[in-house]
Amino acid sequence: MTADSTLLRIVDEGDLLEVRFATDTIVDEVSIQDIAGELQELARGRETPRCIINFSGVRHFSSAGLGMLVDLNSTVQEREGCMVLTDISDTIREVFKITKLDRVFAIEATSAEARSNMG
């Protein structure tokens, strides 16, 4: 099932969620709070959430966006689920590296690889 909000494109396959962002720039605090709310609701609605956050097309991602992902990852971990970030551009990847969040998040090159490794 596919569900689109103004901010996210969500493919819900029951046991696996794949989320893409609807814009290339994720910096606006209010939008990030809205995205966080949506994703938290999705994660909390599942006993063992498995999700892919696909960064295809994202060119700008702020520290507030990073914070949103940190919180989401905590929610997923509390439920013994898994969350993988994929398709991150080299420049955004550098942001994850500088903040050492590449040590916190599971990151794969593509969503196909993530799906394969999730089983």
Partner 1 sequence: MQSDPPPYSLQESIQSTREEIERVMSSCLESLKACGHDEAAVFAIRLALEEALSNAMFHGNGSDASKQITVDVQITTDQFTASVTDEGPGYDPVHVPDPTADENLSIASGRGLALIRSFMTEVTLVPPGNCIQMRYSPGGAS
Q: Are strands 17-21 and 8-12 parallel, antiparallel or unpaired?
A: antiparallel
Shortest distance (Å) from residue 12 CB to partner 1:
25
Residue among 73 and 86 whose Cβ is closer to partner 1? 73
Min separation Cβ 81 and partner 1, Å: 16
Tell me if 40 sits within 8 A of 73, measured CB to CB.
no
Which amino acid is it at 75? T
Of 3 and 27, which has the nearer Cβ to partner 1?
27
Q: How far is CA 15 from CA 62, 65, 85, in A?
A: 29, 25, 17
Contact positions vs partner 1 (CB under 8 A): 27-30, 60, 62-64, 66-68, 70-71, 74, 91, 95, 98-101, 103-104
Q: Report the 10 Å Cβ neighbour count for 94.
A: 12
Q: How far is the CB of 94 from partner 1 (least distance, A)?
A: 9
